Each structure stands twice: as structure tokens, then as C-alpha cells.
Chains A and B, each alone.
Chain A
Amino acid sequence: QLQLQESGPGLVKPSGTLSLTCSVSGDSINNRSYYWAWIRQPPGKGLEWIGTIYHSGNTFYNPSLKSRVTIYAYTSRNEFSLKLSSVTAADTAKYYCASGDYTNYYYYNYGLGVWGQGTTVNVSS
């Protein structure tokens, strides 16, 4: 059973870079059946898609964050990561990694079926 677990610093200084890792267990990150995503949720607010990485290595990012975001996959470690640069207080949120089923042509209609428990990141000096 696929499981995801986020990790990383809980506190980042303004103008710094937020770096998080999502460890994948129960299957290989190389498995073409999945795609991988980062989602965030500011305190008391709704969900915001950050970006997605596919088996091909292709990445897509939310335009509102695109200039500051990079998502990598580390196949040897079976994990993928998120880097968000030039952070401000507005980036304070709970960050989730998630995966979706990529086996269907219309994969995007099948949602994100597996989520990590999330990790809280505060941006503060």
C-alpha cells in the first residue's frame, strides 16, 4: 500500500528557501502508475496546488508560484522534493505531498488518492 511522508524544517526565515521531502513507501517512485504532487494549506484556509512531477520528469507548477518553485524526484532514494525560494509569511502553511493514479488516459479526473499527513512550515524571523 502506497504511503507518503513529508519531512523538513518547520521554520524558515523570510527570503529564505523552503525545502521539503516526501518519502515514498510501499512502491517505487519510478512506477509509471503514479504521478506526484505538492499541495499546501495556509492556516484556516483552503487547499492550493503547488506543482506536479511525472515519471517522465516533466513538471508543472502553479503559475502563481512558478518563478519560485522547483520539484525534483530522487529515484535512488524513492522520494521527491519541493523547493520554494524567497519565502514570505504568506508561504506559512501545512504542506502535503500526494499521489494520483496515472494509469488512465484521463488520469486527472481520478483525483489524488494518497496523501501524506502533512508538515507545518512557518515563515518567520
Chain B
Amino acid sequence: QSLLTQSPSASGTPGQTVTISCSGSISNVGTNAVNWYQQLPGTAPKLLIYNNNQRPSGVPDRFSGSKSGTSASLAISGLQSEDEADYYCAAWGDILKGPVFGGGTRLTVL
């Protein structure tokens, strides 16, 4: 089961800003940074945000991350049709000694 909680779905229209939330506990999100992964249909996950708010090279600045306490958020501004994907948050679990994932949020671009 997922130890980080995400809403199962989110949606928006092109050009809008959408926010996806992620909730954890003191032993994961509360203590460690949050990473976000984007999984386009039929493909492997791709690291989208690391260390709460850093973007790997090549990730557009339309994607931004933030964290406060035991919760984190991924914001996507200027929504585009190609952003339609599953988004997963993850954080290191101090007890698990490995990454803990959220259940994923399916983003639909209307």
C-alpha cells in the first residue's frame, strides 16, 4: 500500500494551473525532500522534480514543487495536452530505508 497520500485524479483545461498534493508523515515527507515523477501513458516514470523544488535539466519551468511540513505540492502552469499523465510523489522513508511512493494522481487535460 502507498504510504504517501495523493488524490486519485485531477483535471484542467489548456492554459490553466493545476496543483497536485501529496501528504505523508514525519518519517518521510516531514524529514526528507519530496521528488515527483511523471509517467506518460505506456512509458517509464521520469523524474520531474527533486529535492522538493529542483528541476532536472530539460524539465520546463511550468512545473514547480513545494513542501511544507508533511505535505507537498506539484504545480503545473500553462497546462498542455501533453501533460496528461500519472504523477507520483515520493520521499525517502527513514524506517523503510528506501523511497516511499504516493498512489499517483491521474491528470486529465480537458
Q: B interface, how many residues as a size bin?
A: 20 to 34
Answer yes or no: B45 CB below 8 A from chain A CBs: yes
Whether the Cβ atoms of B50 and A110 lie closer than 8 Å is yes
Q: A interface, how many residues as a size bin?
A: 20 to 34
Whether the Cβ atoms of A116 and B44 lie closer than 8 Å is yes
Known contacts A108-B92, A109-B51; decide if A49 and B100 are in contact (CB<8 Å). yes
Whether the Cβ atoms of A115 and B46 lie closer than 8 Å is yes
Answer yes or no: B24 CB below 8 A from chain A CBs: no
Answer yes or no: A72 CB below 8 A from chain B CBs: no
* CA A60 to CA B103, docked complex, whole Å: 22
* CA A117 to CA B97, docked complex, whole Å: 24
Q: Which of A37-66 contact B (CB under 8 A)?
A: 37, 39, 46-49, 51-52, 60-63
Whether the Cβ atoms of B98 and A49 lie closer than 8 Å is yes
Q: Mark B28-50, 1 if CB is under 8 A from A, else 0.
A: 00001101010000011111001
Which of A47, A49, A96 has a CB less than 8 Å from the CB of B96? A49
Which of B50, B51, B99, B103 has a CB less than 8 Å from the CB of A46? B103
Answer yes or no: B88 CB below 8 A from chain A CBs: yes
Whether the Cβ atoms of A109 and B104 lie closer than 8 Å is no
Whether the Cβ atoms of A47 and B88 lie closer than 8 Å is yes
Q: Which of B42-82 contact A (CB under 8 A)?
A: 43-47, 50-52, 56
Instruction: Say how far A98's CB is from chain B's closest CB, in angstroms.
Output: 8
* CA A116 to CA B43, docked complex, whole Å: 10
Which residues of B lie under 8 Å from residue A111 when comparing CB positions? 35, 37, 47, 50-51, 90, 99
* CA A37 to CA B97, docked complex, whole Å: 12
Which of A61, A108, A118 has a CB less than 8 Å from the CB of B99? A108
Known contacts A46-B103, A115-B45; decide if A62 and B50 are in contact (CB<8 Å). no
Residues of B within 8 A of A (CB): 2, 32-33, 35, 37, 43-47, 50-52, 56, 88, 90, 92, 96-104
The 5 closest A-B pairs by CB, nearest first: A109-B33, A111-B35, A108-B92, A111-B50, A115-B44
Residues of A within 8 A of B (CB): 37, 39, 46-49, 51-52, 60-63, 96, 106, 108-113, 115-118
- Kindly list 4 other residue pairs between chains A and B, CB separation below 8 angstroms, not including A61-B98, A115-B46: A39-B45, A60-B98, A111-B90, A115-B45
